[in-house]
Amino acid sequence: MAIQFDEKRNMFKLDTKCTTYLIGISKEGYVGHIYYGKRLKEFGGGYLLRTEEFPFTPEANKREKAAFLDVYPTEYPTGGLGDYRESCLDIRNSEGYMGSEIFYKEYLVEDGKPHLPGLPASFGEKDEVQTLQIICEDPILRMRVTLMYSVFEEEDIITRSVKIENQGEKALHLEKVYSACLDMDNQEFEMIDLCGSWARERYIQREKLRYGRQRVSSSRGESSHQEHPFMALVTPDTTQETGEVYAMHFVYSGNFTAQAERTQFDYVRMVLGICAEGFRWNLKAGESFQAPEVVLTYSAEGLGKMTRSFHDFYRKHLIRSPYLYKKRPILINNWEATYFDFNTEKLLAIAKGAKEQGIEMLVMDDGWFGKRNFDDSSLGDWTVNEEKLKGGLPHLVKQVRDLGMEFGIWFEPEMISPDSDLYRVHPDWAIQIPGREPGQIRAQYVLDLSRQEVRDYAYECVAKILRSAPISYVKWDMNRQLTDLGSIALLADAQGELSHRYMLGVYEMQERLVTEFPDLLLENCSGGGARFDPGMLYYSPQIWCSDDTDAIERLRIQEGTALIYPLSAMGAHVSDCPNHIVGRRTPFETRANVALAGTFGYELDITRISEEEKKQIPGQTALYHKYRELIQKGDYYRIASWTDKKSLDCWEVAAKDASHALVTCVQVLAQPNIHSRKIKLKGLDKEKTYRLEGSGEVYSGEELMYCGFLIKGLEGDFASRLYHFVREDVQEEEGPQ
């Protein structure tokens, strides 16, 4: 049983394979957090609520209620009555008064996990996950708050979310609804988060936790390039293998806040949820509000264990696509090859050249519709530009398929260009504040997807095209943030709902898409990686990682992304040199070795690259076929990071049965007068021996893991190499060495 309740002690015990989470209830009914950490055999730890210490619970010490609320380690803090730390729930009643207090009422335990209506969320079979609902009430507000905990034993994951129900007769105004809170004693914590910018997404950042509040947040209407809905608190000794890690990740693609607060008593409160800035939800009598889900994990074995828990969890319990473990066609995308300047002839030339080298799908990117010859028009006018695509889309798709390739297409369905027929007819469909000219970003506005008729139009545009020809893949892009937050369809007191309603609208559209086209391979994208988040993974098994396709820039971006996301989710391509973003020249081989850590594809004009490079492509695509399954399903280990010493970047993927492992090494900058470098492998069988393919060398598993392996012979800046270790009892496979 993953979830147990001890009636005598009023305590819940939630167990995963390696962790235990304990919840206690005070005499008054305050739901308290006792413990999260290594797995415990027995119940215990109730003393950690400290209710026997001053200031005591209000029952014993009514005159110091605020002092109690301000220290009690709670599961879900509500605002306005004396807990001055960050609250998770701020509510105003219909008279405008703010304040709420929730008390335990009852609980429910069920096998499996209920859906979260309208939201992406993890799932599992009845024998894989158990769910606890702790039902609380605020008797004054006549509000019910259900705290939901789903325990995934095998992956060491607990997910949390919250439902608020208005059981009274008058509206309640939700001003903040976070999804999860973790109150702990400080352990000299350091905070890890992922930060960046366009073309520099998800860099790992680590800082000592100071007194006060440290937050990462987005109010851009998307999870964003800049900050990421993820936070980990780690003990100072944390490395890949050691240290304690408490991590939270949000299954949501819109505005968020993740915050760690170190308090006066050296306690720490970590929270995550929808960003409260600009949020206001009008909860009418009888209505409920479901907050999105937070994924929680604890590791006593450093960051590596955390990473693998997230990877396993997302692969098994979040990504629904039939492509999760299927071979995805190796694609060539024409964006960096042509930008807007293409026609049928050019695309077919690229397709033909690509097919000859073993590439399997042509993806036609931005610029095929309306009058779009640059980025300043036609979003919303999703009709094929027949001046570019003579004979229309079905004709092009047929020609590509006749070559033996699949066909994919780009859309940006959430947008509207001021210069579009759609805008000329429906200017009110753009998100805007009446009387104020909305600001453009990339010469475009955002469609008001909180409105059903707007969603129906945008969805039908995409679906019509997909129904018109056999299209295997869609890249769903989103190239601007939300501003001017106003919707003419919402009443004055509901304008604060727009950003969340927008996200619900996007989710509804993507749900329709994957339902109507179940075999479609969907790749989400947002000006590179501005909406790379678990919410999007629920709909698409892969997400475009970054517009920065330079192999060296990608090392850092992919290291940060792989900290929490499986490699099978990371959109990665081999692109042209000098690189279009940073102008760097890197070996063609290294570009492929780095892209192999993701979905793998090409984004260059194959009709123009050198013969020497072209000749390498069949070998590279063969590598993809050879290692695809290992990369999609294996255990990922970060071995070395070039951000440490600006030299070696190295990662490994080991098969779960330890039958083989692939190690990728990139020498970023060559150094003079240096010896071979030692790396220690992981995830092998220490009792078995492994041959290094293509070398005749044989090593024992324990030797490779404990003594190490020497990396030598990498010559020059940006040189790279793959090392494939195969357990000796496994048959030699055909394929490149």
Residues that bind ligand DGJ (CB under 6 A): 335, 365-366, 410, 477, 479, 525, 527-528, 544, 547
**Catalytic residue numbers, as ranges:** 477, 547
Question: Rounded distance, CA 449 to CA 427, Å?
Answer: 14
Residue with tokens 């819109």: 254
Give least dist CB 529 to ligand DGJ, A: 8
- Of 497 and 547, nearer to ligand DGJ (C-beta) is 547
Residue with tokens 């955390």: 306
Handedness of CA 574, 579, 582, 588 (dihedral sign): positive
Give least dist CB 556 to ligand DGJ, A: 18
Give least dist CB 525 to ligand DGJ, A: 5
- Of 547 and 576, nearer to ligand DGJ (C-beta) is 547
Give least dist CB 336 to ligand DGJ, A: 8
- Of 158 and 415, nearer to ligand DGJ (C-beta) is 415
Any idea what DSSP says for residue 74?
B
Question: Rounded distance, CA 508 to CA 138, Å?
Answer: 32
SS (H, E, C) 429-468: HECCCCCCCCCCECCEEEECCCCHHHHHHHHHHHHHHHHH
Give least dist CB 547 to ligand DGJ, A: 5
- Of 76 and 539, nearer to ligand DGJ (C-beta) is 539
- Of 399 and 417, nearer to ligand DGJ (C-beta) is 417
Give least dist CB 527 to ligand DGJ, A: 5
- Of 224 and 450, nearer to ligand DGJ (C-beta) is 224
Residue 91 corresponds to which tokens in the numbers above?
């509510």
Give least dist CB 422 to ligand DGJ, A: 18
198 by Cβ neighbours in 10 Å (0-12 / 13-18 / 19+) ranks as middle
CA distances from residue 14 to 104, 215, 305, 489, 537 in whole angstroms, order as listed: 17, 28, 19, 44, 26
- Of 309 and 378, nearer to ligand DGJ (C-beta) is 378
Any idea what DSSP says for residue 504?
H
Question: Rounded distance, CA 699 to CA 679, Å?
Answer: 14
Question: Rounded distance, CA 619 to CA 626, Å?
Answer: 10
Shortest Cβ contact with ligand DGJ: which residue?
366
Question: Rounded distance, CA 667 to CA 677, Å?
Answer: 10
DSSP secondary structure of 530-544: TT-SHHHHTT-SEEE
Nearest to 68 by CA among 91, 87, 49: 49
Residue 388 corresponds to which tokens in the numbers above?
């570019």
Residues in the chain: 737
- Of 527 and 634, nearer to ligand DGJ (C-beta) is 527
Residue 435 corresponds to which tokens in the numbers above?
């009387």
Residue 251 in contact with residue 293, Cβ under 8 Å?
yes
Q: How many CB atoms lie within 10 A of CB 611?
A: 6
Give least dist CB 369 to ligand DGJ, A: 12
